[in-house]
Structures are given as structure tokens and as C-alpha cells.
């Protein structure tokens, strides 16, 4: 495991950029014009934010950062290109819109949100390559410090690797105890692609799991902290979301304990639980709406 002692530490991406070790997830943090939660997260100490054009939180995040007077260089900002924005020209346009929403002139990380624009889409290989070509240009122009993907399976990544000049630095996937996507994680780590965890605490569906509760109690932490720490010990970047100051702070307090080997093995091989039902190839148990 990479040595991590605080939120200021991070993982080095395959292009040398440092990706801080814990980010704040902004999906469903800003209803209407409410920047309260985002400003609270900044007050709680978060400087690394994970947003996406699809979330509708970019502009509220930009506003919160401005109002709180946080210098741009202290921040690590990730956003994502939505399914309807894929394609060479569309990507360039969507990126400019994202910058405008955030009120910044560069991103730290820009990701393709999903490999396919819709379930069963046949021409995804060409669409992904065209989209990636635009991402590479944004990267070369210095408008984004690193580029990557989200919800890509190994064969989606291979399509890019076979055709790209800049390798993806990141793959952001659903990852938590009970759904660790071992095959994809192993592939990415072998390829030097950093894995980031969305829904690292299973969107709170894991909080009452008996084994996790027992384990968390032994370490004197909450189940959420156990899940966040689990990701870190797997060299995976957790992006927890919370709307309460106490839990925002708790989710950063994950450097004072270490999960033992037997527990790590148990967490990595427990029965599937808490899966969102979303799968990159579609055919999910629920429709792939996010």
C-alpha cells in the first residue's frame, strides 16, 4: 500500500500528477441553488471535489469555491463528460461549458463518464476513440492536468490503449466491500491506471451489515470509515459524499488505524452486497441512468 498519513497525501498518476487520496463526491449535493453542502465540505477541509456535467453541481461548486475564497492551486477538481456529450467536437464544447460552470481555466482531471452512450450502442469503439482524441488535445493544450475514464471495463480500455497516444491515468468505478470488481481493479493496477471508487460506502446500504459492524467496532471506527480505509489500503481513491459536517469530518479521519490482513481478505471476498445495479454494458438490474 502507498504510504498515506493525511488527506494531503496521494497517489502518483502515470503522468506524474499527484491525485489526492480522498475526494468529496458531489452527486446530489446541490438541490436548486443550494450551495450550503458544498461550502460545508470546504469548511470541513475538503479541497478535492468530484463532479460531472450530469450532476448539475459544477456551477454550485464554482460558486462555493469563489464565495469561500479558496485559491485555485489548493484545489483538485475532477469533472466528467456525459453520455450525450461524446464525440470529438462535442467533447471540446462540453469541456468549455464545464470550465465556465466551475469558473476556472483548467481541470485537474477530466473523465469520460461511461463507455457507451446508451445500452446496446454498436459503434462505441469509434465513438470512444473520437472522444479520447479530443481529451488528448485538451491535455496537450494544458487545459487539463490528467485525463481518464469512468465505468470502463478492461476491454473498453484496451480499445483506447490500442488507438491512443496518451494513456488513461484513471478509471473511476463502483467499488466498496461487497462489490470490488476484482477483475477490473487488477487489470487497471497492472496497466498503471489509478482506480477511484464511486459509492465507496455503498450509498449507505452497507452501514447495517453485521460483519462490517463487527469489524468496525473492533477498530473503534464507523462502518463508513472502515469502507473508506478499505479502499485506501487497496490503493483505490475513495470519493465519499455526505451532507452533514460531522460525517464529512469523520470520513477524513481514516489515517489512525490499519485494517489487518485477515480482515482485508474477508472484505475482498465477502458475498456481493450493495451493488447499485449499474453495469457499463447495460442490462443492469436497474436502468443505467447515472
What residues are annotated to the active site? 55
Calculate the alpha carbon distances from 74 to 39, 42, 71, 116, 188 in Å.
15, 11, 6, 33, 28
| Segment 235 to 264, residues that bind ligand NAP, using CB under 6 A | 239-244, 247, 250-251
For residues 150 and 171, the answer to whether their CB atoms sit within 8 Å is yes
Is 19 near ligand NAP (CB under 6 A)?
no
Task: Write down the least CB distance from residue 48 to ligand NAP, Å.
Answer: 11
Nearest CA to 199 among 253, 275, 140? 275
Among 2, 8, 204, 269, binds ligand NAP (CB under 6 A): 204
137 conformational bin, left if phi > 0, alpha if psi -120 to 50, beta if neither: alpha
Site string for ligand NAP, 106-135 (x = CB under 6 A): -------x----------------------
Distance CA 252, CA 119 (A): 36
Toward ligand NAP, which CB reaches closer, 159 or 242? 242
Q: How far is the CB of 206 from ligand NAP (least distance, A)?
A: 8
Cα distances from 155 to residues 143, 167, 183, 275, in angstroms, run 28, 14, 11, 21
Closest separation in Å from C-beta 29 to ligand NAP: 7
Among 53, 64, 171, 172, binds ligand NAP (CB under 6 A): 172
Residue 116 makes CB contacts below 8 A (sequence gap 6+) with: 83, 124, 280, 281, 282
Single residue of 201, 215, 232, 267 touching ligand NAP by CB under 6 A = 201
Size of the site for ligand NAP (CB under 6 A): 28
Which residue from 35, 53, 180, 199 is in contact with ligand NAP, where contact means CB under 6 A? 199
Pick the binder of ligand NAP from 168, 178, 202, 280 (CB under 6 A): 202
- Least Cβ distance, residue 114 to ligand NAP (angstroms): 7
Please choose, from the candidates 247, 230, 111, 105, the residue with its C-alpha nearest in 3D space to the C-alpha of residue 180.
Answer: 230
With residue 132 as reference, give the H or E element that holds it.
Answer: helix 124-140
The H or E element that residue 76 is part of is: strand 76-81
Distance CA(93)–CA(87), nearest Å, equals: 10
Q: Does 53 bind ligand NAP (CB under 6 A)?
A: no
Cβ proximity to ligand NAP: between 140 and 204 the closer is 204
Separation of alpha carbons 111 and 157, rounded Å: 13
> Under the criterion CB under 6 A, does residue 200 sit at the interface with ligand NAP?
yes
Cα 276 from chain centroid (whole Å): 15
Residue 246 CB, nearest approach to ligand NAP (Å):
8
Q: Which of residues 58-97 bind ligand NAP (CB under 6 A)?
A: none
CA distance 120 to 269: 31
Least distance (Å) between residue 171 CB and ligand NAP: 10
- Using CB under 6 A, list all residues that contact ligand NAP: 25-27, 50, 113, 150-151, 172, 198-204, 207, 222, 224, 239-244, 247, 250-251, 290
Amino acid at each position: 500500500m502507498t504510504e498515506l498519513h493525511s488527506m494531503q497525501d496521494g497517489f502518483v498518476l502515470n503522468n506524474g500528477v499527484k491525485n489526492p487520496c480522498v475526494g468529496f463526491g458531489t452527486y446530489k449535493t446541490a438541490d436548486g441553488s443550494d450551495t450550503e453542502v458544498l461550502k460545508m465540505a470546504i469548511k470541513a477541509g475538503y479541497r478535492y471535489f468530484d463532479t460531472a456535467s450530469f450532476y448539475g453541481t459544477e456551477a454550485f461548486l464554482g460558486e462555493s469555491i469563489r464565495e469561500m475564497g479558496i485559491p485555485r492551486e489548493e484545489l483538485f477538481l475532477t469533472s466528467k463528460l456525459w453520455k450525450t456529450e461524446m464525440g470529438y467536437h462535442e467533447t471540446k464544447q462540453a469541456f468549455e461549458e464545464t470550465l465556465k460552470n466551475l469558473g476556472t481555466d483548467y481541470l485537474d482531471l477530466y473523465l469520460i463518464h461511461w463507455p457507451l452512450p446508451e445500452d446496446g450502442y454498436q459503434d462505441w469503439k469509434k465513438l470512444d476513440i473520437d472522444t479520447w482524441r479530443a481529451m488528448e488535445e485538451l491535455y496537450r493544450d494544458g487545459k487539463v492536468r490528467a485525463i481518464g475514464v469512468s465505468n470502463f471495463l478492461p476491454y473498453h480500455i484496451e480499445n483506447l490503449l490500442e488507438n491512443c497516444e496518451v494513456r488513461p491515468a484513471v478509471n473511476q468505478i463502483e467499488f466498496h466491500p461487497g462489490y470490488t470488481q476484482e477483475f477490473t481493479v487488477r487489470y487497471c493496477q497492472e496497466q498503471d491506471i489509478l482506480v477511484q471508487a464511486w459509492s465507496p460506502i455503498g450509498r449507505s446500504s452497507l452501514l447495517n451489515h453485521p460483519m462490517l459492524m463487527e469489524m468496525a467496532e473492533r477498530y473503534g471506527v464507523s462502518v463508513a470509515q472502515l469502507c473508506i480505509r478499505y479502499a485506501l489500503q487497496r490503493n483505490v481513491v475513495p470519493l465519499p459524499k455526505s451532507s452533514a459536517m460531522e460525517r464529512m469530518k469523520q470520513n477524513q479521519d481514516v489515517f489512525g488505524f490499519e485494517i489487518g490482513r485477515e480482515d482485508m481478505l474477508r472484505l475482498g471476498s465477502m458475498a456481493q452486497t450493495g451493488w447499485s445495479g449499474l453495469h457499463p454494458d447495460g442490462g443492469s438490474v436497474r436502468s443505467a441512468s447515472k
